[in-house]
Structure 1
Amino acid sequence: MLVVMLFVLTIVFLIVRITPGDPAAIMLGPDATATEIAALRTNLGLDAPLIKQYTLFLAQLARGDLGNSIFLHRPVTTALYERSEPTLFLTLFTMVIATAIAIPLGILAAYRRDSWIDRGVTTFAMLAASVPSFWLGLLLIQLFAAQLGWLPVAGYGGPDASFTTRLSHLLLPAMALGTGASAIILRSTRSSMLDVLNDQYVRTARSKGMSELRVVIRHALKNALIPIITVLGLTAAALISGAVVTETVFSLPGIGNLVVSAVMRRDYPVIQGALLVIAALYVLFNFCVDMLYLAVDPRVRYQ
């Protein structure tokens, strides 16, 4: 994990700095003189050699300091913390919707292999994977917000909004993201279940007179969980990093929206901090998935 994070922060540091454009000139505007731009670059440390900037960057990270936002005039950790709630709740709500759609349909498609149910579920998975989330989000806004008026169009509610109000604002973006995310989970569930449904222990369970529901859920699904858990973990990590467009469409004040603003303004500290936090969460999710293997399948522990 440490090696991966060191590699990631090095790549992020270099990419941010070799991207064309001068943040000092952007901050001061088109009327700034060369002297003013040079003074601001010196103040921000942007005129120092890359190796010195990198050393200072690593020293700040060792202290848990992601720097200060150039435009927000506050610590990056504070800005990320303030924007974390919408993104985390959106990820959680999306995973609930995606799992509720994908797991039952994947099990049903595998159990009814080569039937019209299997073909219908597979077609749905292909369509869900093909439809862009932002386009689906616009359709959902048009239907449920503009025409029916059941849900808010965008935003996250006021500062004193209740949890129920927050959820009502997250429902449409979660549906837009969850539909696409369910496709890969559904296909993984179907594939994993097909691998185990014809195994000997499943036939043995049936020969003992167990009900089909118990055979499928307790025996087949339990032994098919490792690939499914892997996909769930990767999907959750990808949602945190990939909900930028959806947050922009629905005007959610999350981390994705913050990153877009930081890129437009060339706010180096915010870009670096956000990418490092997202990468750390991605690595952490993968680590948690590996640990879940031990709880799901005791054979992993022996190996």
Structure 2
Amino acid sequence: MIRLCIRYLNLIVLTILALIGLSFLLPFLFPGDLLTNISGITPDSNQQREALERAFKLDKSLFSQFIHYLENLFAGNWGVSNRTQLDLFDEIALTFPATIELVVYASVVSVTIGIPLGFISGLKHHNPFDFSVVTFSIVAYSFPVFWLALIFITVFSLQLEWLPTSGRIDLLFEVPSVTGFILVDIWLSDIPNKGYAFKDALQHLILPTISVAIVTTALFVRFVRRSIMDVMEKEYIIAAKSRGFTQRQIFFKHGLKNAIIPILPILALQVSTLITNVMIVETIFSWPGIGKWLIEAIYQRDYPAIRMGMLIVSLFVMILTISTEFLTRAIDPARERGVNATL
């Protein structure tokens, strides 16, 4: 286990350095003035330009510039946005928790619905319930997430007027940010009409969460169903049946763990898809997360914001993916010995 931890720690460190290196080179690839692309400030005079060049070590070697970039990165000095002239660290700290919130809630819904449906469908395959679940998973996975989001807005917001069309909470409520999760922040706050604020935030959260969760749930159903079907056809399962064990005993003693282990690495590969879908949904629902913030930065060619936003999103996806893979190998000793996979 110690050797496994060291290997994955080295992998994380090397990947982080590679991503930081790519983000460092991005301003050199963007069109326009290099100094503005790095600092987010358009100099008004030659004196200001020279001062900024010295501040960002542009008069030094490329290696010195990279070291300076690392120092600023870990110190939280990420520059300012061309668009808003606000500190990028503060803007990302404000928007990124909203994205994580949507990812967490969509994942919880997908796991809560998708995994049980996949288990039941796999255990009772080729019956009407299984056919219904498979049909749902195929149809749900076939729909683009932006199309689902627009359909939900049209039906539930514009026609039925059950749920709000956009935003995170009504502008009437001012909720102090503590954790970045709106429901948690409302619970921790002492604002007037806390119950109404909580209900309003929950209503704003339903459609974006479901839009992302439907596609992810379909993936979970398909992977879990296929894994259950494969495991229940193994020789040790057949032997357990011949010894008189019930279906319930066989499933919980032999089937459950062996069915989950092959799913974990596949789900790790879906992390990037989940984050991408969340960022798309944020734009459609005007959810104030980093996805919507990045799209606005791209539209307005805010290169410092694009640089830091892409770095943070890439690091988040990388950490989730590697953590899931590490969990898989820690749970399954066979993978650690290199029987099923090698690092």
> Which AA in structure 1 matches 2:23?
V
Q: 2:23 aligns with which of 8, 12, 19?
A: 12
Query: Who is 1:159 aligned against?
Result: 174
**2-structure distance, mates of 1:151, 1:300:** 46
Matches within 5 A, 1:70-109: 70-109=82-121
1:237-290 CA deviation, whole Å, 9 max, x = no partner?
543354222101101001111111222233333222222222222222123213
Going from structure 1 to structure 2, the CA distance change for 1:70 and 1:20 (only over 3 Å counts) comes to: closer
**TM-score scaled by structure 2?**
0.74
Query: Who is 2:6 aligned against?
Result: none
- Of the structure 1 ranges 239-248 and 251-260, higher mean CA displacement relative to structure 2 is found in 239-248
C-alpha deviation, 1:86, in angstroms: 1.9
Query: Who is 2:141 aligned against?
Result: 129
Q: 1:194 aligns with which of 222, 229, 232?
A: 229
> Which AA in structure 1 matches 2:13?
L
**1-structure distance, mates of 2:328, 2:33:** 47
Query: Who is 1:296 aligned against?
Result: 331
> Which AA in structure 1 matches 2:18?
F
**2:251 aligned counterpart, secondary structure:** helix
Matches within 5 A, 1:111-150: 111-150=123-162
Q: 1:57 aligns with which of 56, 63, 69?
A: 69
> How many residues are aligned here?
297
Query: Who is 1:180 aligned against?
Result: 215
**2-structure distance, mates of 1:225, 1:10:** 36
Percent pairwise identity: 30
Report if the CA contact (8 A) 1:229-1:289 is conserved. Answer: yes
Pair 1:277 & 2:312 matched = yes
Query: Who is 2:303 aligned against?
Result: 268
**TM-score scaled by structure 1?**
0.82
Going from structure 1 to structure 2, the CA distance change for 1:42 and 1:196 (only over 3 Å counts) comes to: farther
Report if the CA contact (8 A) 2:23-2:308 is conserved. Answer: no
**2-structure distance, mates of 1:61, 1:95:** 30
Pair 1:110 & 2:141 matched = no
Query: Who is 1:248 aligned against?
Result: 283
C-alpha deviation, 1:41, in angstroms: 6.2
Going from structure 1 to structure 2, the CA distance change for 1:147 and 1:43 (only over 3 Å counts) comes to: farther
Going from structure 1 to structure 2, the CA distance change for 1:218 and 1:252 (only over 3 Å counts) comes to: farther
> Which segments of 5 or more consecutive residues in structure 2 lack a partner in the other structure?
1-11, 176-185, 187-196, 339-343
Report if the CA contact (8 A) 1:109-1:117 is conserved. Answer: yes
> Which AA in structure 1 matches 2:82?
I
Q: 1:66 aligns with which of 78, 81, 91?
A: 78
> Which AA in structure 2 matches 1:187?
R
1:149-172 CA deviation, whole Å, 9 max, x = no partner?
222221101433644432321110
Query: Who is 1:221 aligned against?
Result: 256
> Which segments of 5 or more consecutive residues in structure 1 lack a partner in the other structure?
none
**2-structure distance, mates of 1:223, 1:42:** 63
**2-structure distance, mates of 1:283, 1:243:** 16
> Which AA in structure 2 matches 1:108?
I
Query: Who is 1:259 aligned against?
Result: 294
**1-structure distance, mates of 2:159, 2:248:** 41
**1-structure distance, mates of 2:313, 2:304:** 14
1:3-59 CA deviation, whole Å, 9 max, x = no partner?
22222223334345423345859xx9xxx9xx9487776665499489365443233
What is the RMSD computed on CA atoms of the aligned residues?
3.3
**2-structure distance, mates of 1:151, 1:214:** 44
**1-structure distance, mates of 2:27, 2:138:** 36
> Which AA in structure 2 matches 1:101?
I
Going from structure 1 to structure 2, the CA distance change for 1:55 and 1:250 (only over 3 Å counts) comes to: same
